[in-house]
Amino acid sequence: MERRPGARRAVGVRARPYSLFEASRVSARVYEWDGVAIGYFHLWLVQLRGVPELLRQLLDTELAAIEAIVLDLRGRGGNGAAVPPLLEVLDDARTARDLPLVTLIDAGTRSAKEVIAHELTKRERTLLVGERTAGAVIPAAFADVGEDTYLMFPPFEYPGYTASLEGKGVEPDVHVPASGPYSAGQDAILEAGLRQAARLAAAGGGREANQLPAYSEVLAGMVEALGGEAAIRRHSAMTQTGTFEIVGLPVAGTMVARYAAPHFLLVTAELEGVGRLVQGYDGEVGWSDSPSTGRTVLEGNDLAQLRGQANYYGPLGFEEFYDTVELAGRTDFNGTPCYELSLSYGAGAVRTLFVDTASYLIVGMKNTISTPVGSVETITTLAGYQEFDGLQVATLRTTDVGGLQQQKVVITGVSFGPHEPDTFEPPEWAVR
């Protein structure tokens, strides 16, 4: 076993008979998340008999005091004939106890489990968290073809589901990639599901799941608000020019930000009385140089935050740049109703975006950065969107740096076109 690169150890496992039904039974447990009691049940296989009765029994005993349910449908499939009675149990839990339901899915979710996810979504009974499902719902049969060999083949279509799900799958409302190798036991999809279940319970029950659109819908709205995919991809390099000031202090000057696809960035500010501030990212190395902090090679959270800032294609690059993208809920940002998007990447870094529910433009951001006095939270307000060659750009950005100072950037010009070949090359001191 290798939980982290190079950290290997031998583990002995004794082979024993096992029961997927029993595995489902013992998976039931209660998690405490943000003060909310959340019941968890992993349905390992949708078996023809016994699963609906098992879930009903658990809801009456071990899960009797819960405030929300997380149903884990990841992996494998099962028998479609067992789906209707299982849905009836979940409907009863919603009707009798108004329990919010969050359902976990991944790329291995298939067959009868996809039908369950599809039906729960169609009935507006759940919030789906995880990855798009496998898109494999055609029933299977087996034929003995001799030589100790069996042929698995699709004997018929699944009425009502094959056309809509086969090869397409079910999209999650909250997109969270499965934890990969060396995740050291972390389960990103489960953690996101518990967080969403706690949020729904705190909001007063399962009805709010109906009010929160799918992540894919919000993403599509963001792309359209910026001018559409064609406008976003029309150019692969951009230069923004403007002014920079520290509000309330005699510190001001000019600013030039150069971007290139997919993730290159160089920001230079010339401030009167202070000097030259530079920050850059070449796709691997992040660095900064300023009179106050000196030369710094960025690492950890600071490097991850800069990489996110360098994402040239904006929402079109979310799933490439971030480990998880989560539609965390609704909130207000400076009095504007917003969707809250939580974007996480390496080193535990998290960027929160506030997306106007009416315009789908980003009106705010929240990050954590390192400063000479330690890590502080920054909150940036984006306003004054203007069109430049079909692309909407925020021309006014005001950032509160942990209550210590307020920075203001005004964009006065935007141009498109290639940069010099060495524009984003880090200085020698940053790559030694």
- Of 3-7, 17-21, 110-114, 176-180, the range with the highest mean pLDDT is 110-114
User: What is the domain extent for residue 300?
Assistant: 227-431
Q: For residue 136, give the CATH number of its domain.
A: 3.90.226.10
pLDDT band, very low/low/confident/very high, at 346 (cuts 50, 70, 90): low
Tokens 């030589």 identify what position?
147
> In terms of domains, do 257 and 123 share one?
no
**Considering 212, 245, 279, which residue would you say is the last residue of a domain?**
212
Please report, rounded to a whole number, the percentage of residues in the chain having pLDDT higher than 90.
54
> In terms of domains, do 179 and 278 share one?
no
pLDDT at position 17 is 86
Region of poorest pLDDT, from 131-135, 243-247, 263-267, 328-332: 328-332
Task: Specify the 3-state DSSP secondary structure of 249.
Answer: coil
* Position 6 in a domain: no
Average pLDDT, stretch 227-240?
95
- More reliable by pLDDT, 378 or 260: 260
pLDDT band, very low/low/confident/very high, at 226 (cuts 50, 70, 90): very high
> In terms of domains, do 178 and 291 share one?
no
Report H helices in 245-342.
Answer: 300-309, 318-321
Average pLDDT, stretch 158-169?
86
Whole-angstrom Cα Rg for the chain: 25
**Considering 189, 212, 235, which residue would you say is the last residue of a domain?**
212
- More reliable by pLDDT, 331 or 267: 267
Q: Tokens for 257?
A: 């930000």
pLDDT band, very low/low/confident/very high, at 386 (cuts 50, 70, 90): very high
pLDDT at position 347 is 55
Count of helix runs (H) and strand runs (E) in the chain: 12, 23
* Position 8 in a domain: no
Q: What is the mean pLDDT of the chain?
A: 88
> In terms of domains, do 110 and 166 share one?
yes
Q: Is the pLDDT at 73 greater than 80, yes or no?
A: yes
> In terms of domains, do 52 and 126 share one?
yes
Q: Is the pLDDT at 206 greater than 50, yes or no?
A: no
> In terms of domains, do 36 and 154 share one?
yes
Tokens 């100072």 identify what position?
405
> In terms of domains, do 235 and 160 share one?
no
**Domain count along the chain:** 2
pLDDT at position 365 is 93
* Position 337 in a domain: yes
Task: Specify the 3-state DSSP secondary structure of 170.
Answer: coil
Q: For residue 236, give the CATH number of its domain.
A: 2.50.20.10
> In terms of domains, do 260 and 186 share one?
no
> In terms of domains, do 285 and 377 share one?
yes
Closest by alpha carbon to 321, among 191, 210, 201, 175? 175
pLDDT at position 62 is 94
Q: Is the pLDDT at 74 greater than 50, yes or no?
A: yes
Q: Is the pLDDT at 205 greater than 60, yes or no?
A: no
Q: Is the pLDDT at 210 greater than 70, yes or no?
A: no
Tokens 């109906």 identify what position?
210
- How many C-beta atoms surround the C-beta of residue 274 within 10 A? 17
- Note if the bond before 337 is cis, omega within 30 degrees: no
> In terms of domains, do 319 and 360 share one?
yes
- Is residue 152 within 8 A of residue 140, CB to CB? The reply is yes
pLDDT band, very low/low/confident/very high, at 131 (cuts 50, 70, 90): confident
Rounded to whole angstroms, the Cα distance separating 415 from 241 reads 9
> In terms of domains, do 128 and 258 share one?
no
* Position 42 in a domain: yes
Rounded to whole angstroms, the Cα distance separating 331 from 199 reads 12
Q: Is the pLDDT at 376 greater than 50, yes or no?
A: yes
Strand partners of residue 129? 104, 174
* Position 217 in a domain: no
Instruction: Give whole-number Cα distances, 362 to 147, 166, 264, 279, 345, in Å.
Output: 62, 35, 21, 23, 19
- Is residue 242 within 8 A of residue 413, CB to CB? The reply is yes
* Position 11 in a domain: no
Neighbour-count burial for 323-354, b at 16+ CB within 10 Å, e otherwise: bbbbbbbbeebeebebbbbbbbbeeebbbbbb
Q: Is the pLDDT at 425 greater than 90, yes or no?
A: yes
* Position 218 in a domain: no
* Position 256 in a domain: yes
pLDDT band, very low/low/confident/very high, at 405 (cuts 50, 70, 90): confident
Q: Is the pLDDT at 86 greater than 60, yes or no?
A: yes
> In terms of domains, do 241 and 205 share one?
no
pLDDT tens for residues 103-120? 999 999 999 999 999 999
Task: Specify the 3-state DSSP secondary structure of 80.
Answer: helix
- Whole-model pTM: value is 0.61
- Is residue 330 within 8 A of residue 322, CB to CB? The reply is no
